[in-house]
Structure formats: C-alpha cells, structure tokens
Structure 1
Amino acid sequence: METSRRAPIGRPRGFDAEEALEQAMRVFWEQGYEGASLADLTSAMGITRTSMYAAFGNKEELFRKALERYTRVPASYGARALREPTAREVATAFLDGSVRATTRPGCPSGCLGVQGALAAGEPGRNARETLVAWREDAVIDLRDRFRRAVDEGDLPPGTDAALLARYLMTVANGIAVQAAGGAGRDDLQLVADMALRSWPSA
C-alpha cells in the first residue's frame, strides 16, 4: 500500500519584508550606496545576510528596490504634483514637496535620489547610473506636463518646456543638497517661493 506524500511546505520568511525594505531605504538614504555596508543594511533590517539575498537579491538589487519604495512613499509628491491643474500649481507642489521630503523629522536629510550615489567609484557605477536615469525620468515627466500646459494656453506660446522642467529639477536638487547640509525647512521654503516668483504666466 502506497502512502501519500505531501509536498514540502516552505518555511515562513519570518520577517516583515516591507519593514525590512523601509529600513534598507533609510540606510541608503543616510549613507549612500557605497557608504552602506552589508553589515549596516542587515543590522538595520534585522535579518541575516542569507535572508537578505533570498528576499531581495544582492546589494545592487536591494538598492533598486529601496529606490522604488522611496519613489512610492517619501518622493510620492512628484507624481501627485503632475496631477495639479495648472503648470504653476505643478511647480509649487513639486518644490513644496521637495522641501518637506528632504527635511522630514525622523528621516535622513536630503534626497536618496540625489545624494545616494552622486559621487561613486566603480563599485557604485550602476547605482549612480540608476539614479541619473531616475532623475532624468522626473525631468521628462515635468517636460511633458509643461508641453501640455503650453498646448492648453496655460503657459505662454514658445515656452521651452524642457528648459523649464530642467530648471525646476535643478532647484529641487539644490534644495536636497542644502537640506543634507543642514539647512532648515523654513529657509528652504523661502528658496522655493523665490524660484516661483519668476514663473511664466500666460
């Protein structure tokens, strides 16, 4: 008589993957890609190196997943800003969001997408290129939104939407660098407000 065999049941992961990823994101945010050691990451995540590899892949893959989480949560203001009804409101929401995200109490200062691998050696080359593409995608999204604003008459005819998008991103990146250097939220909000005073109007 044959006995039935049960398929082996996988062992439970034993940790909250989203919480672990949140902690990894914070380590990368504070220390940068190259500055964050595997020991730093696994200690903050509360898991072993083996568990990290099994759940998230290698350090580079973990960084990409952490950046995706950063985009969905702390940097979600970017996607929300694009839905504002006018170009000026888009720009205002984008810069205000940048100020809040880079000076949020209880979080690292600055922006993971800006200083995560701004200056990196060969081991961090892929991470640096990932962030370059991440920032460029944001510029493209803003450019497309501003082109629509020109077509709708919300921005003056002939407005260089690509240049306007690059300008806005440059200000936001500067806000992030200043925040990482210790500048306070109130001062950075004044910078954002000043940048918007010269905003073109239809």
Structure 2
Amino acid sequence: MGERGRPRGFDRDAVLRQAMLAFWSKGYEGTSMTDLTSAMGIASPSIYACFGSKEQLFRESVRLYDSIAGIPARRALQDAAEARAAVHGMLSTSADFYADPATPPGCMVVMAARTAIGPDVQVYLADLRRGIQDAIAARLRRAVSEGDLPGTATVEAMAAFYTTIQQGMSIQAHDGATRTDLDAIVGAAMSAWDPLAGIG
C-alpha cells in the first residue's frame, strides 16, 4: 500500500540542515520555534509532525552535524600512519570547520553546552564530547602497540590535552579567531607532543 495522507511538501533533509544551522548559531535554548520555522521555511505543526519535538529535532541536527564535521575529524585521526600526524590532522580538520565562513563559527556540540538544556540532552552531548577523547586515547594506545610511541607515553593525559585544545579552538573561533589564529594554536599544541609523549 502507498503512504496514506498528503505527502510532505518539503525536503526533509534540506529543512533538517537549516535547523542544524539555526541550532549551531544560537544554541538549543537560544533557538525559538519562530527561529526554526523561519529557518526551515515550514510551519510549527509540520515540524512537530515530522520531527516529534524541538528536542528530537535538535538531536537529529546534532547527528547531522556529526556526520559533516565530526566524522571527518575522526577519519583524519584514524587514517594517518603515525600518531603525531593523526592528531595534527584531526586538529587541522576541526579548525577548517570551526573557521569556515559558510557556517556558524565553532563546534555545534561544544557551543551547545553554553545554553541550558534538559539533563538527557546534556548527557547526550557530553557523551559526544567524551567520544573524541576516547578516540584519541585509542589511537595513541595503538601507536604504543605499534612502537610509534614509547610505552612511557602519558596516553590519557595526551588525549585529554588534545581534546581540550580542540574544544578550546571552537570557543576561540566563536569569539572571532581566524583560520590563521587556529593554525597558530594547532602549531603550539603540537610543540608539546614530544614532552607529553616522553620523546627525547
């Protein structure tokens, strides 16, 4: 049987992207339903019918953001042959997204933490933020097992440090830092590699 009822008169993927940009720009609480209807070009009943609630729309927006910005950063972390290049690539890829003039500045997942959100969504976002630190730590442990890093490398501290750098770059970008500014931060962060890794 065919789908019952009148078909949607809009492209779900396209309106979801517009919602993502609205949330990315203003945060969860800062984005009103009026903002969403204006950005998405559809009425609030259509938003609720398609996405269920503002919170569900936000969660879908975050998943879309992760596919656009998060996955490339994690891929850069995984694909490089050496751990130093992997972390450098992850930070540089993140900087590309944070300072892209075509999108709101900074990381949607990091910047969302600045607004009041219900506890379930806070936990969801915190899990996503911890995920990159876990990914860095796993990549560094792999480097130790492959002999790319010495066994004395402070893997957990390194992962926490470079996660903090990545998230801090998001805030810097939101406050107006340029791509050149972020490059300087990446360079300074990578200069700490050898001491943290116990090399030299």
TM-score where L is the length of structure 1 = 0.90
Partner of residue 108, structure 2: 112
Map Cα deviations across residues 133-172 of structure 1 (whole Å, 9 max, x no partner): 1101111111111111111111111212222111111001
How far did 1:77 drift?
2.3
Greater radius of gyration (CA)? 1
Question: Are 1:70 and 2:65 counterparts?
Answer: yes
- Choose 176-185 or 48-57, whichever is displaced more: 48-57
Please give the secondary structure, in 2, of the residue aligned with 1:153: coil
Q: Deviations over 1:102-130 (max 9, x none)?
A: 1101210111011113342xx54333222
> Which of these residues, 87, 94, 97, is aligned with residue 98 of structure 1?
94
CA gap of 1:31–1:124, structure 2 versus 1, over 3 A, is: farther
TM-score normalised per structure 2: 0.91
Quick one: which amino acid aligns to residue 63 of structure 1? F
Answer yes or no: is 1:128 the counterpart of 2:113. Answer: no
Partner AA of 1:143 in structure 2: A
Give 5+ residue unaligned stretches, structure 1: 1-5
Comparing 11-20 with 125-134, which one deviates more in the overlay? 125-134
Instruction: Give the CA RMSD over aligned residues.
Output: 1.7
The answer to whether the 8 A contact 1:63-1:127 is kept is no
Which letter does structure 2 place at the counterpart of 1:109? P
State the partner residue of 2:189: 195
Structure 2 residue ranges without an equivalent (≥5): none
Conserved 8 A contact 1:34-1:117: no
Q: 1:46 aligns with which of 36, 41, 46?
A: 41
How many equivalent pairs are there? 195
Residues 33, 127 of structure 1: 8 Å contact kept: no
The answer as to whether partners of 2:29 and 2:115 remain within 8 angstroms in 1 is no
Question: 3-state SS of the aligned residue for 2:101?
Answer: coil
Aligned to 1:146: 140
What secondary structure, in the 3-state scheme, does the structure 2 residue paired with 1:14 have? coil
Q: Measure how far apart 1:8 and its partner are.
A: 7.1
Partner of 1:80: 75
| Cα distance in structure 1, aligned partners of 2:144 and 2:191 | 19
Match of 1:3 in 2: none
Query: Quick check: 1:33 aligned with 2:23?
Result: no
Identical columns (%): 38
- Measure, in 1, the Cα distance between the counterparts of 2:91 and 2:146: 23
Counterparts of 2:71 and 2:40, CA distance in 1: 23
Q: What is the CA–CA distance in structure 2 between the aligned matches of 1:26 and 1:179, rounded to whole Å? A: 16
